[in-house]
């Protein structure tokens, strides 16, 4: 069977739309890879099937790698709208020195609500490496106090 540009376009649209039903954020990249092959075939219509598949795989894998390595880490993690029951009372280690009412970072041994490092704020200065306990959630920050007291 010979794939034409519209076959790849249909496959691409089906994969992108199926992302709505299966929200894994992986199918969309394979759909965009298929759409890239459709564009390539619109320009060079006599391309054999093997190079088409290689281009599809290369573009899809590159987009997935770009997503997981470059774009996904910069998505904002928030605690807003989450239950604070599992967060308040957690103990972690302060990554950097925190002055009173200044932002810092706290690392938890086990990920809390999907991440092991969170931005934090404290009422009093705390040195890096100190054990701290989560007292409350304030927007996207966890409010901490020294756990060594």
> What pLDDT does residue 3 have?
87
Q: What pTM does this model have?
A: 0.51
How confident is the model over 39-96, as pLDDT tens digits?
A: 999 999 989 999 999 999 999 999 998 888 877 655 555 554 455 556 788 888 999 9
Half-sphere exposure of 6 (CA within 13 A, CB side): 0
pLDDT, position 89: 84
Residues 104 and 60 reside in one and the same domain: no
- Domain tally, the chain: 2
pLDDT tens profile 101-139: 889 999 887 776 667 788 899 999 999 988 999 998 888
Residue 129 resides in a domain: yes
Q: What Rg do the C-alpha atoms of the chain give, in angstroms?
A: 23
Residue 64 belongs to what domain range?
Answer: 5-74
DSSP annotation string for 28-97: HHHHHHHHHHHHHHHHSTT--HHHHHHHHHHHHHHHHHHIIIIIGGGSPP--TTS-STTTTT-EEEESS-
What is the b/e burial string over 28-52, where b = at least 16 CB atoms within 10 angstroms of the residue's CB? bbbbebbbbbbebbeeeeeeeeeeb
| Domain harbouring 123, CATH code | 2.40.50.140
Range 23-35 average pLDDT: 90
**Residue 22 confidence (pLDDT):** 84
Q: Is the same domain home to 67 and 103?
A: no
């Amino acid at each position: 069977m010979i794939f034409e540009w519209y076959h790849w376009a249909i496959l691409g649209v089906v994969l992108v739309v199926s992302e709505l039903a299966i929200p894994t954020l992986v199918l969309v990249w394979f759909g965009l890879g298929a759409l890239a092959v459709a564009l390539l075939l619109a320009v060079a219509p006599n391309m054999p099937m093997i190079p088409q598949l290689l281009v599809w795989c290369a573009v899809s894998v590159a987009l997935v790698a770009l997503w997981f390595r470059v774009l996904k880490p910069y998505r904002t993690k928030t605690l807003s709208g989450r239950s604070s029951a599992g967060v308040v009372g957690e103990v972690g280690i302060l990554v950097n020195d925190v002055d009173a009412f200044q932002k810092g970072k706290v690392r938890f041994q086990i990920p809390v609500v999907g991440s092991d490092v969170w931005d934090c704020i404290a009422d009093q200065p705390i040195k890096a490496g100190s054990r701290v306990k989560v007292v409350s959630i304030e927007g996207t920050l966890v409010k901490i106090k020294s756990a060594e007291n």
